[in-house]
Amino acid sequence: MALATANSGGLAIAPICRPRPLRPGAAATGRPTVFTRLAQQFRRFKIWSVPSVASSRAAQSAARGGREPSAARQPSGVDHSARPGAVGGRRPGIVWFRGDLRLHDHEALSRAQAECSSLLPVYCFDPRDYGKSPQGYDKTGPFRAQFLAEAVADLRAALRAAGSELVVRVGRPEEVVAELVRRTGAATVYCHTEVTYEELQAEAAVKSAAQAAGAQLRRFWANTLCHLEDLPFSLAQLPQNFDKFRDRINGLAVRPALPAPAELKGLPLGGQVDPGDIPTLQQLGLQPLPASHASLPGKAGGAAAAAAADASTSRGGETEALRQLQHFVTAAAASGKSAAGAAGAAYGSSFSSSIAPWLATGCLSPRRMLEDAQRALVSGQAAPAAAAATAAPVQQPQAPLAWVRFELLWRDFFRFITLKYSSVSGAKLGSGAVAAVPA
């Protein structure tokens, strides 16, 4: 019998002979083994990092029932539990976009960027959010659906500019995410938690599906001025009216908004994924909008009225949200309406209403909104965001900045109260909805 061994000239046939046993304590010397030569080839082509012979023997000993090597002794750059797409000991991550269609102030995206070897952003048009309600109404009307589709298209463009991509699917998130986990070998799914009962049900379903596919779901709080973890009381102790809520958070510092990443990690190597197309209104079961809806003329009536009219004809997306915000802070600073007065109150209140569609879809972060307004209206120039970005009670209720903060706190209160009772309902119905948001 003969054995094929590797050498520099190809395969050679060598007779099989019984290896001579080593003396106790003697080191393994002599010509390189087949495994060593293959390891050198793999290192040269950078296919993967191959552990040393000693480490391999230790792993083989553990497989035979010996003591498993500790993590500290494992060779760097090798992840023995990794699946296709894993690189350098870290596995890919999936970022599930929901009501956070932006890149700025996005903690889930920032965490995934820091912790994963590669990223796969995904957005799902959940069929359960469309169609008719039991009362016969559209669950999502055509104008909102069009706004969402535009926001998703804008998010995809921003991700592509940062070197990434947005996978778009029409389907239940738990099914879509589980499939992507299996295809890419992702270890973690990152998302921002929401507050309504049905949204919490969707999170619970995604968590179960991701775990069954071999990944964990990590949820982060977002889309409020005050962070849930910073409140001086538990969610169960949330005051039942806004005035008491505002008094309890007097002086509470607002966390600074996170910057949008200029560059993102690439897509997972394992399992090629088709980005998919953004569905039309007809594909979502809705009637197309009339062609004239986007060309309604604006009306006179001051900068606030102009901003409101502009908002009614504007597109969805982070790009448009930041443009609207810049329009407000520039006009307010130029008009000198940061002083007290009824005009300043009306201006700030009107803008808070006109910017609501972008806040509701997560195209704009409340913290970013307050920071930009503060820089423009307090000093007229850029200032450290953390200098005065607090949730203190309104000191000058007639100033535009104070009214912007006031309206954002109202929005916080409604989101917190919704989460409080959505969690209670979920617990009573046994849906598995989360009652608290894990870090």
Annotated binding site for FAD: 407-414
- Residue 73 to residues 42, 51, 52, 60: CA-CA distances in angstroms? 22, 11, 12, 14
Specify the pairing of strand 216-220 against strand 188-192.
Answer: parallel
CA distance 52 to 114: 29
Of 409, 398, 401, nearest in space to 332 by CA? 401
The phi, psi pair for 418, rounded to 5°, reads -65, -45
* Residues placed in the known binding site: 407-414
| Burial per residue of 285-304, b for 16 or more beta-carbon CB atoms within 10 angstroms, e otherwise | ebeeeeeeeeeeeeeeeebb
CA distance 306 to 424: 42
The tokens of 71 are what? 């993590």
1: number of Cβ within 10 Å? 4
The secondary structure element, H or E, covering residue 121 is strand 119-125
Which residues on adjacent β-strands are paired with residue 138? Answer: 132
Q: Counting beta carbons within 10 angstroms of the beta carbon of residue 406, is it exposed (0 to 12), middle (13 to 18) or buried (19 or more)? A: buried
- Residue 411 to residues 86, 92, 147, 403, 414: CA-CA distances in angstroms? 41, 35, 21, 12, 5
Place of tokens 């947005």: 166
- Residue 364 to residues 246, 256, 264: CA-CA distances in angstroms? 23, 14, 20
CA-CA-CA-CA dihedral for 392, 395, 401, 405, to nearest 10: 30
CA-CA-CA-CA dihedral for 213, 279, 127, 421, to nearest 10: 90
